[in-house]
Structure 1
Amino acid sequence: MGFYAERIVPRIVDAACGARAARPLRRRVCAGLAGEVVEIGFGSGHNVPFYPPGVTAVAAIEPSDLGWGLAADRVRASRVPVRRAGPDGRSLPFEDGTFDAALSTWTLCTVPDPLVVLRELRRVLKPGGALHFVEHGLAPQEDRRVRRRQRRIEPLHKRLSGGCHLTRPTVALLTDAGFTVTEVDVFYQERVPKPFAAQSLGIALSPGPGGPELSR
């Protein structure tokens, strides 16, 4: 990683993800979380104020030392114990079936191998554990013009934003990774240009006993 990726991108992400407009979505996606939670793409901790009372502990997965440093005040102020547990969602340092729930907010757009990350989340979730997610990605199928704009913009956007994709199909990725999507709201975020505004917010469940096996 170069200077831009290490020192500039985390500050851009901190500012963008700290926008006031994102707070209602963070509140919605965190609602209902309970027990021990693993959060991938923890960033600078903007979800911390929205953890509900049922959450007992959070294991934060965050690759950026600067991002974790920017989260310090939020982590100290948290009523929920939060520990930085690893840097890479593709190889989570936990035993199978460790967590009651998982949280991903605007993370699957950037991770290098989203299917690998999602399968790792499945592995460390207890059977029937819930992944709460809000992600931006590919515009709805009927909005072909928006999709074309996303594909044109994406190469430059990835370079400026640390690898963030605009065209990843969130729900399809979850399904391909073996999750069952039980709730999803697909919408455009207000006051955001449409190529950047297509959001999917919902809950996906890890299979219970007798569900499909993970491919290793």
Structure 2
Amino acid sequence: MAGLWDRYVVPRLIGFCCTQPPIMKRRARVVPRAHGRVLELGAGGGANFALYDPAKVTKVEGVDPSPGLLDRARDAAKAEGIDFDIKEGVAENLPFADDGFDTVLATFTLCSVQDHAQSLAEARRVLKPGGTMLYCEHGAAPDTNVAKWQRRIEPVWKRIAGGCHLTRPVGSAVAQAGFSIVEQDRGYMEKTPRWAGWVEWGEARI
């Protein structure tokens, strides 16, 4: 039953939840900053594709482990005037050589990878020297009462939402992975439960 849920329900659930107006508003602050050859982690669904600046990117490559979301991404890619190449893969083991990308983008993705630290290490590996890491992720809230509810809800939430974590750090994890954060912002999304609404976005470099 869990396998059927993950294969058929989770892609629809993620596709719906991750394209709500408060989330798309945050995506729109980050995605247009991408430049050159871009790698998008968790590209399934294609929610970011219309937000890229065609004048700044040469190609967008992406990985996602979900066949259902990959189908959505490929359909979305056809509607945009950018060279997209989306393939099945996981952020913890990227099928790319070292130092190959100008930008790595992660939006509402690092919450659900199996190994948070390894995924960020892989992002750093495939970036060119001086490359840019762009991120926009929900995660651990700084308020004690909200964080308490995140810890309570997370075990159930992970089961129904494709392994999505509520308590992972965002900006601090990027910094611990060896990136230098050059710009960042954070806060609660409007019209969103606070336990799911703490978001941090930023731009980091190596």
* Equivalent runs, 1:65-144 vs 2, <5 Å: 65-140=67-142, 143-144=143-144
> Is this contact kept in 2: 1:86–1:92, CA < 8 A?
no
- The number of aligned residues is 204
TM-score between the two structures when normalised by the length of structure 2: 0.95
> In the aligned structure 1, how far is the partner of 2:100 from the partner of 2:156?
38
> In the aligned structure 2, how far is the partner of 1:11 from the partner of 1:35?
31
Q: Which letter maps to 1:190?
A: E
In the alignment, what sits opposite 1:176?
A: 176
In the alignment, what sits opposite 1:14?
A: 15
In the alignment, what sits opposite 1:199?
A: 199
Could you say what the CA RMSD is over the residues aligned between the two structures, in angstroms?
Answer: 1.1
> In the aligned structure 1, how far is the partner of 2:91 from the partner of 2:38?
14
> Is this contact kept in 2: 1:35–1:100, CA < 8 A?
yes
Q: Which letter maps to 2:36?
A: G
> In the aligned structure 2, how far is the partner of 1:170 from the partner of 1:72?
28
In the alignment, what sits opposite 1:42?
A: 43
TM-score between the two structures when normalised by the length of structure 1: 0.91
> In the aligned structure 2, how far is the partner of 1:91 from the partner of 1:103?
16
Specify every segment of 5 or more residues in structure 1 that has no aligned partner in the other structure, as ranges. 207-216
Identical amino acids, percent of aligned pairs: 39
TM-fit CA distance, 1:34? 0.8
Q: Which letter maps to 1:15?
A: F
In the alignment, what sits opposite 1:213?
A: none
> Is this contact kept in 1: 2:70–2:88, CA < 8 A?
no
Range with greater deviation from structure 2 (85-94 or 51-60): 85-94
In the alignment, what sits opposite 1:153?
A: 153
TM-fit CA distance, 1:20? 2.5
Point out the structure with the larger helix share. Answer: 2
Q: Secondary structure at the match of 2:85?
A: strand
Range with greater deviation from structure 2 (130-139 or 27-36): 27-36
> Is this contact kept in 1: 2:38–2:102, CA < 8 A?
yes
TM-fit CA distance, 1:98? 0.2
Specify every segment of 5 or more residues in structure 2 that has no aligned partner in the other structure, as ranges. none
TM-fit CA distance, 1:188? 0.3
> In the aligned structure 1, how far is the partner of 2:99 from the partner of 2:61?
14
